[in-house]
Homo-oligomer: A and B are copies of this chain.
Amino acid sequence: MFRTAELQRKLPKEDYHQQVPQLREELLLMQMELRKADFPVVVVFAGVDGAGKSETVNKLHEWMDSRWLVARAFGEPSDEERDRPEYWRYWRELPPRGRMALFLSSWYSMPILDHVYGHIGLAEFDERLERIKNFEKTLADDGALILKFWMHLSKDAQKERLRKLEKNPLLHWRISKRDWQHWELYEQFIGAAERTLMKTSTGLAPWKIVEGYDERYRSVAVATIIRDAIRFRLDEPKTPAAGGNGDARGSKPAADAAGLPPVTVLSQLDSGKSLEKEVYNEKLKHYQARLNQLQRAARERKISTILVFEGWDAAGKGGSIRRITAALDARDYQVIQIAAPTDEEAAHNYLWRFWRHIPRAGRVTIYDRSWYGRVLVERIEGFARTREWQRAYGEINDFEAQLVERGIVLMKFWLHITAEEQLRRFQEREQIAYKAWKLTDEDWRNRERWGDYELAVNDMVERTSTRQAPWMLIEANDKRHARIEVLRTLCQRLEAALAGGPQNP
């Protein structure tokens, strides 16, 4: 695979000085256009030590307008990073649309090194490469242009390069013992690299192998590939989206195939359950005390919790959340209200703003509405294109799998009320001055599409209720019943997690 990158290609000085001015100009012009474009550019550098990865990044900074260019290198994770799923640190640093980021020692480093050092076998190595593929696919599907450079040197060339650096009294600091250790492992390293490139070179995120032997050659080669790839994307005619924005036909859930009125998971719920006030008060105190105890234990054990609340308008999400937070230490939790995204958030993949708020080990994040907006309101109202909300199920499952793998207790509540009960609550809100603000025209509009939403919820539950992260469908016509159910299942789940269920490695 790397044979063609062991040719010791050199770019003569004269050719270099002839090519570079025009290349720089084109890069800069392209960069100016990119700023107005609706996609980000992610450039990954990996490869053999000494093949000039960081030198190339420096060169790009020199040639381009560095205000719109960001380089990120990843060393040992910080404590805050270690407390969260592995990819949290990468999500944090993703560039917004119109910007370009250069990643060094990125998501490829650890899997390759872990495999070379023998910490993980082939099966786990493949799994981690699969995770990378999913990650890059999520970004690329959302429009990100992904370029990956493998900077290569032959074993002899690497030795030569390391020796040369080592002998230079002014540059020998660049070479550490670790570099020589890696050199010893050259064959294993190349083996792992080949597998990596084969498995993760996709149409959406292809690898380019660049020979790192000659500085002039590799700089011009990388810059040219970047220029051409971005230029190509910028000049691409905008194809009308498969489903089109706001394509109601595509997003409208289909009725039952047999033409019968559809039966959804929601229509199966019993809406008659209720609780007497006295029973409620007693149970509330009981479960809150229990929850407090469990959360303190979970904090001790560094088990984090993520709670997702979705449900019909006026189903009582806020009230349920407050019954939970009242039992917790204010330092342990945060409630994230999902409203309109900030411009920074809107410039990123839709999952970015949820990744941001993943709790540290031992803490709780409660999302009041969540990433499921993608397959509910965005689907129904046509804010997301058909292909966007359709692929969201897979993206969400992958996201949640990472949370669960990290040992996070993830619970998803759908608070269900009947259409009649919603109407009653809307009318009540209209009557009571301090509740009227809660009721908007949008609520009435959403209500008109109750059937569509019900089918969308059904699809959502069908496709994202996994064993590890099941949906809890809570009958909420009676608020007291709903609140206790939420608390009860939460306590139950935390107990299981503390007892060391499978979801907590």
What residues make up the interface of A, taking CB atoms closer than 8 Å to B? 21-22, 24-25, 28-29, 32, 54, 57-58, 61-63, 65-67, 71, 73-75, 78-80, 104-105, 169-171, 173-174, 285-286, 288-289, 292-293, 296, 318, 322, 325-326, 329-332, 335, 337, 339, 342-344, 360, 368, 432-434, 437-438
Contacts and interface: CB of A to CB of B under 8 A. Distances in A.
Given A285-B170, A288-B170, A343-B342, A67 B337 contact: yes
A355 to B, nearest CB: 16
A78 B326 CA distance: 24
A296 B176 CA distance: 12
Given A66-B318, A79-B80, A292 B331 contact: no
Given A67-B339, A293-B173, A21 B54 contact: no
16 contacts: A21-B434, A22-B433, A22-B434, A32-B437, A58-B322, A58-B326, A61-B325, A63-B434, A65-B438, A67-B368, A71-B330, A75-B332, A80-B80, A173-B289, A173-B292, A344-B344
Contacts of A322: 58, 61-62
A174 B71 CA distance: 47
Nearest to A321: B66
A170 B289 contact: yes
Contact of A79 (B21, B78, B332): B78
A174 B286 CA distance: 13
A25 B433 contact: yes
B335 A66 contact: yes
Given A73-B331, A80-B78, A437 B289 contact: no
**Number of copies of this kind of chain in the complex:** 2
Contact of A285 (B32, B171, B360): B171
A343 B335 CA distance: 22
Given A66-B335, A173-B293, A285-B171, A21 B433 contact: yes
Nearest to A338: B67
Nearest to A288: B170
Contacts of A434: 21-22, 24-25, 28, 63
A170 B286 contact: yes
Contacts of A171: 285, 289
Nearest to A433: B25
Nearest to A174: B292
